[in-house]
Structure 1
Amino acid sequence: MQKTIVFFDIDGTILNEDKVIPESTKTAIRLLQEKGIHTAIATGRVPKMFYWILKELNIDSYVAMNGQYVVFEGQEIYSNPIDSDILQSLSAMTSSNGHALAYCSHLDYKVSEPNHPFIESSFDSLMMAYPEVDPKYFKRWSIYQGHLYCEAQYEQMYAERFPEFSFVKWHDYAYDILPKGASKAVGIQKMLEALEMKMEHSYAFGDGLNDLEMLSTVGTGVAMGNAVPEAKAIANLVTTSNCNDGILHGLIQLGLLEEELAVN
């Protein structure tokens, strides 16, 4: 029997605008699992941010922090930490500019500044509390991803100063900080190697700028109806939105689930 796997982004994909999992998505993923189809998360989030989703969906494999940390069936199979000396330089620059950072390890995430308006606005959009502050967190733990909190006009300045990084926007005032070449697609490749599966038998659902490499690399990429235009342009299929049973409808369109399961 041919192995198949489906990867799901979280924000704007699994979660609706209220940051909850629609019942249709829970049903769809359960039915995939009952058919023997592997299911996995592929997200920019730190694992701590989505443990509750793994539990609710009975998923134990994930690509976290945009491909920087990969777990297959509960076991770490790939990690790519960022050089702490570069993070030291970046921290000094953001502090002098009145900006802020978040440091993401495989266990937790901390921010560099208290009561920073851009951090507050970004985490409000996730419906999450302001993170704990620890400006030296990166000195004690391996960091796989950072967040830069600044106005859009400053992003290019950081990109020119730190060419070894990619800065991927996920909020008006927030950017994921990743080593050049890192992406969900890299993490997915690591998981497929663990599964001994060809890329052509993989599927992925996503909606954001950090999903572009994933959607264009997997065998079949599916953009949500609420996705950014760039994701829709690169995907093989565009389904309905995350608030309109997009995952269920997309899986039916792909032929991975039966049409009679469609939600009216």
Structure 2
Amino acid sequence: MTMYKVLFLDIDGTLVTPDNRIEESTKEAVSQVQDKGIEVFLATGRPLHEIDDLAFQLNIRSFIGYNGANAVYKGEDIFQEPLEPSLINRYLTIATEHNHDAVLYTNKENVFTNLEAPVIQKFIEVFHFHKNEAYGPEFNRDVLGITLINLKPEDVPLYESEAGIHLSQVNVEGLKHSYDVIRDKINKGYGIQMLLKYLNIPKESAIAFGDGMNDKEMLQAVRESFAMGNGHPDIFQYAKHKTTDVSNSGIYNGLKTLGLVK
């Protein structure tokens, strides 16, 4: 019987390849650890209402979504941490002044500041988003996450003047101009800590895989942390292990080093 109880997997660049596939080796690895009684969570910046197909493919019913603002265990909502409406108003003002775009994620839809913009259409296409709405102020009280779109690197400080907030570049080819808004106190690592406490599972029994800078807190919240070979150059310092690329059986190879897959 294994000492490990939970496995947290980022989606983009970790579970899903750049051409939006899940490798057969990854599916097999997930199935094998599930057979050992390990609960597998998808831990993502994506909104949970847009990952049903991925979850179905892998028989997964537990999630951390919106970069840690919402957690679900076996279909049961454990917590939600919405953003302050005042912060959303300030960010949208900055975005308007600098010709940036944004998507606000509620627990039901993706709310875009400009659905007609080509850069938004590309974003929707890459992530296969379906539940899209045009922005209106009525959404401000229900926002669990934000992605800012069409930023240059020098634009990032405009948004990081807020205390307790930093931006994390989206590690997806063609969308490097997009940045997730991450709260220092509410992130994937916070989500894991809350879930481990809820499930009464020690950190030593947890595993995580990630590739982007929005995964750094997650990788520090578990005992066995793996950075994907294709990861952001700065992510490796936060992981205990480095595995192969997402397109080269990264999850399978990492779990194999722990003796969890054959």
In structure 1, list runs of 5 or more residues that go unmatched.
259-264
Kept after mapping to 2: 8 A contact 1:19/1:127:
no
Question: SS at the partner of 2:142?
Answer: coil
1:214 aligns with 2:218: yes
Alpha-carbon distance in 1 for matches of 2:38, 2:176: 36
**Which residue number corresponds to residue 112 of structure 2?**
111
Identity of counterpart residues, as a percentage?
A: 29
**Which residue number corresponds to residue 167 of structure 1?**
167
Question: SS at the partner of 2:208?
Answer: strand
Question: SS at the partner of 1:40?
Answer: strand
Q: Please say which of residues 94-103 and 219-228 is displaced more in the overlay.
A: 94-103
Question: SS at the partner of 2:167?
Answer: strand
In the TM superposition, 1:1-264 aligns within 5 A as 2=3, 4-126=5-127, 131-136=132-137, 138-139=139-140, 141-149=141-149, 150-160=151-161, 162-170=162-170, 171-258=175-262
One-letter identity of the residue aligned with 2:91: L
Q: Kindly provide the CA deviation profile for residues 108-159 of structure 1, in whole angstroms up to 9, marking residues without a partner as x.
A: 21101132244344444435579432233523x5111111122222111221
Question: SS at the partner of 2:181?
Answer: strand
One-letter identity of the residue aligned with 2:196: L
Change (3 A) 1:60 1:204: same
Alpha-carbon distance in 1 for matches of 2:77, 2:90: 29
Alpha-carbon distance in 1 for matches of 2:208, 2:134: 34
Change (3 A) 1:137 1:49: farther
Kept after mapping to 1: 8 A contact 2:104/2:112:
yes
One-letter identity of the residue aligned with 1:172: K
Kept after mapping to 2: 8 A contact 1:72/1:194:
no
Instruction: State the Cα distance separating 1:172 from its structure 2 match.
Output: 2.3
Question: SS at the partner of 1:132?
Answer: strand
Q: Kindly provide the CA deviation profile for residues 142-195 of structure 1, in whole angstroms up to 9, marking residues without a partner as x.
A: 1111111222221112212x3342221114221112333221010011111221
Question: SS at the partner of 1:91?
Answer: helix
Alpha-carbon distance in 2 for matches of 1:148, 1:221: 28
Kept after mapping to 1: 8 A contact 2:115/2:121:
no
One-letter identity of the residue aligned with 1:205: F
In structure 2, list runs of 5 or more residues that go unmatched.
none
Alpha-carbon distance in 2 for matches of 1:153, 1:113: 22
Give the TM-score normalised by the residue count of structure 1. 0.90
Change (3 A) 1:45 1:137: farther
One-letter identity of the residue aligned with 1:5: V
Q: Kindly provide the CA deviation profile for residues 7-53 of structure 1, in whole angstroms up to 9, marking residues without a partner as x.
A: 10100111112111111111111111111111111111101221111
- Cα RMSD, aligned residues only: 1.9
**Which residue number corresponds to residue 261 of structure 1?**
none
